[in-house]
């Protein structure tokens, strides 16, 4: 494990990405407080992203629309445009790549780069080149904050410390003083619960955390993540392990007119077909289905084991079974606010193991051929022209291609 003596990492985070993309595309929104919402025509939802101007007035992401209007009566609400954000993301990556190679895309609005020896000596010049390139070739209303440090974790914290539209350079020889100026909750992985746990261990500040021992950090986090964080905070070039995909899923806040059990079931069916399409595109099979509902003041969920499958007929049959359980748990008049489906228990297509006690391989292969034909038609025309059952997306559309910070949608998600 190395201890770098100079900056080696750049972390870039776009400022209010979804709202700033809207402002870049729509001049009427520029310089005004903007809130991005799941769908228009109702106040019974939340602001899922907001512009710099809205944040300055106290509006926050994931705030109820009614509360946002109370704080900022002049806020302009715009329905989400996930495909626009996907295209903006891809365009911005191309422009950044023209200046510095991208090492890892962390989310739709964050990325990290490794710096070569020439780039390490003038981080401010490199940041200026990036900002000028984005402004000239994409637009001046999409801004970014950039952090430089010895490793990715420190660069991410430096980036946040420089927001908005700033540049922050943490040279190894200046550390750890810049860290000690941060609140504990600015450390990645320290939320309110972890902060309470740290306080019980008499760790009240970043300086206190910095002075703990690696094994103590492991004990506090109950896993090796805490120990890795200790080394990252101390400037070591610590690499996170490669993560394996564990599931494919989609969730959706329901429009007011779709908050009945029958309407929620139809949206769950569409979400599940989208998840199964992604499963097949990435050449996976699944062995389990999880359904969850958010109702007033409660949540409900249930899981079902499946054969090793990836076709729509198999997973939709599983949904029918789980939905029967949901109907037994809740009366027909129940209001459903959110629905989600997840396919789990993954295995790769070249590692599929059939259940010798379940003699349905011929049937499964027939359904897989049908799905292959359906997927081929949709791919040819770039939209859903064929599906099992009706294809009738709800108000606001974006079934399976909704706004997301953690997953970058593909073009197929919007078919």
Give me the mean pLDDT over the 405-415 stretch: 76
pLDDT band of residue 129 (cuts 50, 70, 90) is very high
Spatial neighbors of 306 by CB under 8 A, at least 6 apart, are 286, 287, 288, 289, 314, 315, 318, 345
Q: Do 156 and 136 form a contact (C-beta atoms < 8 A)?
A: no
pLDDT at 335 over 70: yes
Cis amide linkage into residue 164, ω under 30° from 0 = yes
pLDDT at 132 over 80: yes
Q: Do 45 and 78 form a contact (C-beta atoms < 8 A)?
A: no
Over residues 232-265, the pLDDT tens digits come to 999 999 877 777 788 999 998 888 888 999 999 9
Give 336's strand partners. 295
Over residues 381-403, the pLDDT tens digits come to 888 999 998 898 876 666 666 66
Determine the pLDDT at residue 300.
Answer: 95
Determine the pLDDT at residue 407.
Answer: 72
Determine the pLDDT at residue 346.
Answer: 93
155 — phi, psi (to 5°)?
Answer: -65, -35
Give me the mean pLDDT over the 309-319 stretch: 95
pLDDT at 270 over 90: yes
Determine the pLDDT at residue 163.
Answer: 92
pLDDT band of residue 354 (cuts 50, 70, 90) is low
Q: Do 299 and 292 form a contact (C-beta atoms < 8 A)?
A: yes
Over residues 12-25, the pLDDT tens digits come to 999 999 999 999 99
Domain residue spans of the chain:
1-173, 176-243, 247-414
Instruction: Write out the DSSP string of 246-294.
Output: -EEEEEEEPPGGG-SHHHHHHHHHHHHHHHHHHHHHTTEEEEEEEEEEE
Determine the pLDDT at residue 130.
Answer: 97
Instruction: Write out the DSSP string of 352-384.
Output: ----TT---HHHHHHHHHHHHHHHHHHHHHTS-
Q: Which residue in the list 53, 110, 368, 412 is annotated as catalytic?
A: 110
Over residues 177-224, the pLDDT tens digits come to 999 999 999 998 898 899 999 999 999 999 999 999 999 999 999 999
Q: Which long-range contacts (CB under 8 A, 24 or more apart) does 27-30 make?
A: 29/76, 29/78, 30/141
Instruction: Answer positive or negative: Cα dihedral of 205, 210, 212, 216.
Output: positive
pLDDT at 405 over 80: no
- Provide CATH code, domain 247-414: 3.30.1490.100
Determine the pLDDT at residue 408.
Answer: 77
Query: How much is the pTM?
Result: 0.84
CATH class of 176-243: mainly alpha
Over residues 42-71, the pLDDT tens digits come to 777 889 899 999 999 999 998 999 999 999
CATH class of 1-173: alpha beta
Written as six digits, the tokens of 23 are 């402002």
Determine the pLDDT at residue 297.
Answer: 79
Active site residue 110: yes
Determine the pLDDT at residue 38.
Answer: 84
User: What's the rounded Cα separation, in Å, for the pair 274 and 394?
Assistant: 14
Give me the mean pLDDT over the 304-325 stretch: 95
Determine the pLDDT at residue 239.
Answer: 78
Determine the pLDDT at residue 386.
Answer: 92
pLDDT at 114 over 70: yes
Determine the pLDDT at residue 177.
Answer: 96
Give me the mean pLDDT over the 33-49 stretch: 85
Higher pLDDT, 303 or 409: 303
User: What's the rounded Cα separation, in Å, for the pair 11 and 96?
Assistant: 12
State the Cα torsion 17-21-27-28 to the nearest 10°. Answer: -60
Question: What is the rounded average pLDDT for all residues in the chain?
Answer: 90
Higher pLDDT, 401 or 11: 11
Give me the mean pLDDT over the 121-134 stretch: 96
pLDDT at 6 over 80: yes
User: What's the rounded Cα separation, in Å, for the pair 261 and 332?
Assistant: 6
- Tally Cβ neighbours within 10 Å of residue 256: 14
- Tally Cβ neighbours within 10 Å of residue 206: 22
Written as six digits, the tokens of 105 are 């895309």
Q: Give the angle subtended at the CA of 195 by the CAs of 148 and 180, to the nearest 5°.
A: 40
Determine the pLDDT at residue 289.
Answer: 97
SS3 content of the chain, % helix, strand, coil (to 5): 45, 20, 35
Residue 115 has what DSSP assignment?
A: -
């Amino acid at each position: 494990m190395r201890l770098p003596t100079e900056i080696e990492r750049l972390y870039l985070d776009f400022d209010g990405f979804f709202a700033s993309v809207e402002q870049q595309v729509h001049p009427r929104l520029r310089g005004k407080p903007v809130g991005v919402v799941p769908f228009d025509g109702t106040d019974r939802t939340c602001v899922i992203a907001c512009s710099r101007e809205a944040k300055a007035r106290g509006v926050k992401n994931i705030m109820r629309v009614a509360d946002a209007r109370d704080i900022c009566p002049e806020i302009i609400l715009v329905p989400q445009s996930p495909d626009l954000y996907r295209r903006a993301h891809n365009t911005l990556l191309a422009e950044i790549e023209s200046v510095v190679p991208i090492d890892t895309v962390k989310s739709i609005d964050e990325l990290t780069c490794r710096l070569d020896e020439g780039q390490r000596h003038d981080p401010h010049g490199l940041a200026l080149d990036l900002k000028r390139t984005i402004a000239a070739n994409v637009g001046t209303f999409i801004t970014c904050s950039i952090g430089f440090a010895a490793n990715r974790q420190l660069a991410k914290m430096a980036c946040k410390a420089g927001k908005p539209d700033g540049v922050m350079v943490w040279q190894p020889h200046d550390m750890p003083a810049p860290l000690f100026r941060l609140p504990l909750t600015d450390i990645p992985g320290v939320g309110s619960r972890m902060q309470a746990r740290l306080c019980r261990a008499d760790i009240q500040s970043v300086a206190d955390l910095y002075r703990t021992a690696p094994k103590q950090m492991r004990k506090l986090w109950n896993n090796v993540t805490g120990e890795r964080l200790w080394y990252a905070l101390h400037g070591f070039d610590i690499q996170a392990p490669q993560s394996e995909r564990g599931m494919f899923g989609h969730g959706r806040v329901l429009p007011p007119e779709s908050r009945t059990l029958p309407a929620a079931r139809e949206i769950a069916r569409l979400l599940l077909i989208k998840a199964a399409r992604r499963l097949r595109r990435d050449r996976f099979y699944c062995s389990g289905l999880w359904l969850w509902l958010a109702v007033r003041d409660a949540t409900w969920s249930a899981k079902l084991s499946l054969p090793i499958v990836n076709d729509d007929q198999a997973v939709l049959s599983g949904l029918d079974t789980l939905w029967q359980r949901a109907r037994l748990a809740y009366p027909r008049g129940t209001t459903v606010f959110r629905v989600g489906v997840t396919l789990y228990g993954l295995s790769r297509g070249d590692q599929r193991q059939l259940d010798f006690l379940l003699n349905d391989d011929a049937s499964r292969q027939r359904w897989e051929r049908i799905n292959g034909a359906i997927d081929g038609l949709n791919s040819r025309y770039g939209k859903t022209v064929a599906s099992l059952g009706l294809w009738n997306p709800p108000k606001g559309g974006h079934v399976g291609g909704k706004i997301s910070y953690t997953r970058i949608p593909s073009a197929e998600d919007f078919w």
